[in-house]
Amino acid sequence: MRITFLIFIAAAILSGCFPKSEIHPTPEAFENYARIYNKNVVKITTEYSYGEPKSERGFGFVIGEKGKKLYIVTAKHVIQQKDDGDDSSVHRNIYVEFYSYGRKILAKEDPKIADVFDLALIETDLPFSDYTWEKGCYDNAKRGDYVWFIGRQDDGWYVPPEPGVVEKEPLSTDHTYTIKSEDVRRGTSGAPLLKSGALIGMIFQNNPLNRQMFALIINAIREIIEKQLKLDLWQLYDCQKEKHISVRINHEAQKKEKDEQETEFLLKNAESYFKKGDYIFESKDKKYNSAFYCYQKVLMKDPLNPYARGGVRRILDILSKSLDNIQQEYAKIEKERINNNFKPDEKIEVLEKMVDILKNIRTVCQECIRFQKDEEKDEDEIFFCKKTEVDGKRKFEGELVQTLKQAILILTEEKKHCEASSEKSEIMPQCNGIEQKLKKYEIKLQSITSKGDKS
């Protein structure tokens, strides 16, 4: 019985019934490969506005860039439902969301692809001016190769912890890989299929019951773009000609480790500054020694870092409370002014604090609003930021200028009386004090008005 079983196994291997053996990639390898390509992957949402409102979700990935437009391939059914026909296109909005940019951006379908494959091409604007994507390489896969995809799980971008395996190579008629995977997920249509750092296809169908995924081969996609649509958009490299993918992977792994160390260092420094009360400084000599600067540096590399985003909002809350306190002081001074007890020195001091706080609030607000996702917009925060910007620029900065002018007029008169006094020797120190204060206020006024002229 045992001999018969061994003969069966040997025959099966020789006939190719089992996948060929391949070195099993480590989870770190998955993550490194994914890190190269994650900037290319987008989440796609198609919203239909006719009949009963509904939406379709999936993914896509960038294959080219031209004239500040990005071109993305996805599964056709993600942007157009089969039973709706072409008429559905006038009642839909297609949105894409990039890994490194939380907000949704409107997209549109490019020249239509014949319904031979479940494939579509869409175009959208660059998410931001300095956006870059990885012009990686594409390749073929063979039976037994380990593969995985880049998708999204809840609020995080997802790479399966264990790879799938190519169960069936494509036929010349269907151009489709059949993938066996323990991690089949609905909603991954349009996601890129990868092997060892190379792009090999696009997932267009999932079968969770049989633990199978089906992917259109990348060469078929390229030929449709270039030959059927006759578009000069394809900017991915042929892996057989591009021999530097392993170098890039190692470079990305080293860069990731360095970024993680820098992020950890910056977050620790931010907490240290936070405890000291060094929340934010605008002056050149102190700018780098503040919690906000550290959080801002982290967000430049990782816009969705929850610790940095939370830290920025904590700073905004503290500044908001400081603003409340200084506004109470301002209200008291205004009350005294109405009662003919005007004290310009006190008012100038309070207004300067007010303007500085409002300036810092504007800086923090820009960072908060910049990284807010559309579905997470905090309307109260946006209203507060807009109101403080108006108060800072139009109201309190203008009032500071007027108060300085009033103080300069008062001091100028006092200086004249001082100089005309018959007892100059006795009041000379007082005159000198008036003159010093007058010069100080004139310099402040000139500084504020010159900034206003430049802006």
pLDDT, tens only, 361-375: 888 887 777 666 544
Residue 339, burial from CB neighbour count under 10 angstroms (0-12, 13-18, 19+): exposed
- Same domain, yes or no: 444 and 320: yes
Q: Are residues 447 and 359 in the same domain?
A: yes
Q: Are residues 316 and 232 in the same domain?
A: no
Do 220 and 311 reside in the same domain of the chain? no
Q: How far is Cα of residue 210 from the mean position of the Cα atoms in its chain?
A: 37
Domain count, the chain: 2
**Could you say which of 246, 279, 306 is where a domain stops?**
246
Which residues constitute the domain of residue 150? 17-246
Residue 360: inside a domain, yes or no?
Answer: yes
The continuous run of DSSP H or E covering 450 comes out as helix 424-454
pTM for the full model?
Answer: 0.56
Of 218, 246, 274, the last residue of a domain is: 246
User: Is residue 1 over pLDDT 50?
Assistant: no
CATH of the domain at 48: 2.40.10.120
Same-domain pairing of 170 and 300: no
* Same domain? 302 vs 169: no
* Cα Rg, the chain, nearest whole Å: 32
152 compared with 354, residue with greater pLDDT: 354
The answer to whether position 251 is within a domain reads no
271 occurs within a structural domain:
no
Out of 182, 212, 246, a domain closes at: 246
Indicate whether 375 and 444 sit together in one domain: yes
Average pLDDT over residues 181-209: 86
Mean pLDDT, rounded, for 244-249: 55
pLDDT of residue 5: 37
Q: Is residue 300 part of a domain?
A: yes
Q: Would you say residue 256 lies in a domain?
A: no
Tell whether 217 and 315 lie within a shared domain.
no
pLDDT digits (tens, 9 = 90+) for 55-65: 788 999 999 99
Which residues, 6 or more positions from 436, have their beta carbon under 8 angstroms from its beta carbon?
none
331 belongs to a structural domain:
yes
Structural domain contains residue 286: no
In a domain, 272, yes or no: no
